[in-house]
Amino acid sequence: MLENLTGRLQRILRDLRGQGKLTEANIRETLREIRTALLEADVNLQVARVFIEKVREKALGQEVLESLTPAQHLVKILRDELQELLGGGGAALDFSGPQPAVVLMVGLQGSGKTSTSAKLALMLKGKGRSPLLVPADVYRPAAVDQLMVLGRDNALAVFDAQGCREPLEICRQALAHARSIGYDTLIVDTAGRLHVDKTMMQEITQMAGLLEPREILYVADAMTGQDAVSSARAFADSLPLTGVVLTKLDGDARGGAALSIKQTTSVPIKLAAVGEKVKDLELFHPDRMASRIIGMGDVMTLIEKAEEAFEGEDAAAMAQSLMEGEFSLEDFRDQLRKVKRMGSLASLMEMIPGLGAGGAMPDLDEGAMKATEAMLDSMTVEERRSPSIINGSRRRRIARGSGTSVQDVNRLLKQHAQMRRMMKTMSRGPLGMKTGPGGLGKMRLPRGRARGR
């Protein structure tokens, strides 16, 4: 997501680092490049114009703090303004009031409403709620079957309408069923169209009147760019939308809809779907997304994922190792073994400063991961804990034992040293982070030598 914009911004800010101070001239040139980068990322023209003007006013109207370089000063302003553009402090889902709390999922056909409904149900179930999915899309072929399959495969309750083809009646029966059984959340998957039309809006408005939902979430396909923004505005004109769910963020390198939709609709982004798996739904944090866009990573989300994947003392120890820069090869091997529980290695690395688009993300594949794990397994415990003892003969032994080359072993050890240096800069605070070519951006895993091992 926003890969192109992140890369452009990092290059622009890197060029600014050589300047001794911020002047009106170099700010004007930098902001012109940033404006171009925003427009190329498919950000709304008016949104980009207002954003650039706010940054200009702050950059020229403030003294550079003694502790910051001019580039760091502009990074801070950009981060703050991006956070505000994305929603400021963020907005939580509202489940207050009478139970069950109803969540109405609305949007155009193909935006991902059905799969997002299942993702939301799984997320809420993991947080201790008891959701019931309601298949109210009777027009799209197999929509009901799709939700039933998602429910069955993920142990989620789905209301069986017994062949009923009237959306309002399905909602009425589902609400009564939820109250009788004791479900505390009703997630209603509504029908979509290829475009906003009067019939669709009338039907959804009637459903909202019947169900009195606590949340009406517009599901927006990030890959449709400004079309998603204009459609969201049309829905907001007819319905009291409470939030937006951005889907397919992993498939859009531009992602300008994320930067435009809050400002153009006044509706907060509450959730983001970042992958195809049912577990790939996250709460949307404007501050974290702003940091990721300008290449500062997302350490908080990384730690939260570690806490979900590791239990008890393991999570605390891993987080402590990350923040103190004492990330050993033993820790790295343990992470690789548990990476499926945390998500893909690529998605995790995106959260580490310097490993975004501007940091040249490594080309990761299953073979590369197997080769890396094989090298780690070929080391002794002492070697993994103290890599400095790995001399030439040990490197040759590790290479032979793992089916790789000495060059691969050297590369792994060099990458680990880079990682430890980066972790130490992270512990000094975000504005001390090094995100340039000398950071983790040059990491490369072996290219599949151990494939099929």
Omega prior to 100 cis, within 30 of 0: yes
Distance CA 203, CA 210 (A): 11
Split at pLDDT 50, 70, 90, the class of 433 is: very low
User: Three-state SS for 452?
Assistant: coil
pLDDT for position 304:
62
Residue 417 lies inside a defined structural domain of this protein: yes
Specify whether 316 is located in the same domain as 211: no
pLDDT for position 12:
82
Specify whether 274 is located in the same domain as 327: no
Q: What is the CATH number of the domain that holds 355?
A: 1.10.260.30
Q: In what order do the strands lie in the sheet with 269-273?
A: 157-158, 131-135, 185-189, 101-106, 215-221, 243-247, 269-273, 281-283
pLDDT for position 222:
79
User: Which of 259, 293, 327 is the C-terminal boundary of a domain?
Assistant: 293
**Of 239, 294, 419, 270, residue with least CA distance to 16:** 294
Amino acid found at 428? R
Residue 93 lies inside a defined structural domain of this protein: no
Q: What is the CATH number of the domain that holds 238?
A: 3.40.50.300
pLDDT for position 437:
36
How many folded domains does the chain comprise?
Answer: 3
Specify whether 139 is located in the same domain as 286: yes
Specify whether 175 is located in the same domain as 140: yes
Distance CA 388, CA 213 (A): 60
Check residue 366 and report its DSSP letter. Answer: H
User: By the 8 A CB rule, do 418 and 370 touch?
Assistant: no
pLDDT for position 418:
83
Q: Is the dihedral of CA 435, 439, 445, 446 positive or negative?
A: positive
Distance CA 388, CA 417 (A): 10
Residue 452 lies inside a defined structural domain of this protein: no
Residue 423 lies inside a defined structural domain of this protein: yes
Residue 448 lies inside a defined structural domain of this protein: no
Distance CA 297, CA 275 (A): 18
Specify whether 209 is located in the same domain as 120: yes
User: Which of 277, 293, 309 is the C-terminal boundary of a domain?
Assistant: 293
Specify whether 235 is located in the same domain as 200: yes
Residue 208 reports pLDDT greater than 90? yes
pLDDT for position 244:
93
Specify whether 123 is located in the same domain as 203: yes
Percent of the chain having pLDDT more than 70? 74
Residue 33 lies inside a defined structural domain of this protein: yes
Tell me if the pTM is above 0.75.
no
pLDDT for position 316:
60
For residue 251, the enclosing domain spans: 101-293
Specify whether 122 is located in the same domain as 234: yes
Specify whether 288 is located in the same domain as 309: no
> Considering only 130-139, 228-237, 247-256, which range has the smallest mean pLDDT?
247-256
Q: Which two tokens stand for residue 233?
A: 């505005």
First to last CA, the chain: 32
User: Which of 234, 267, 293 is the C-terminal boundary of a domain?
Assistant: 293
Specify whether 119 is located in the same domain as 246: yes
Residue 361 lies inside a defined structural domain of this protein: yes
Distance CA 215, CA 129 (A): 15
DSSP code per residue over 55-106: HHHHHHHSPPPTTS-HHHHHHHHHHHHHHHHHTTT-------SSSSEEEEEE
Distance CA 19, CA 207 (A): 58
Specify whether 395 is located in the same domain as 251: no
User: By the 8 A CB rule, do 450 and 374 touch?
Assistant: yes
Long-range contacts of residues 385-392, Cβ cutoff 8 Å, at least 24 apart: 385/328, 385/329, 385/330, 387/328, 387/329, 387/413, 387/416, 387/417
* Crossing angle of the two packed helices 226-238 and 256-265, in degrees rounded to 10: 20
Task: Determine the average pLDDT of the residues in 133-161.
Answer: 94
Residue 91 lies inside a defined structural domain of this protein: no
In whole numbers, what is the pLDDT of the chain averaged over residues? 80
Residue 112 zone, left/alpha/beta (φ > 0; ψ -120 to 50; rest): left
Neighbours of 36 (CB within 10 A): 13
Q: What is the CATH number of the domain that holds 10?
A: 1.20.120.140
Segment 315-343, tens digit of pLDDT: 566 666 665 556 788 878 877 777 656 66
Segment 366-413, tens digit of pLDDT: 577 788 889 999 999 999 989 999 999 999 999 999 999 999 999 999
344 CB-contact burial (10 Å; exposed 0-12 / middle 13-18 / buried 19+): middle
Specify whether 271 is located in the same domain as 306: no
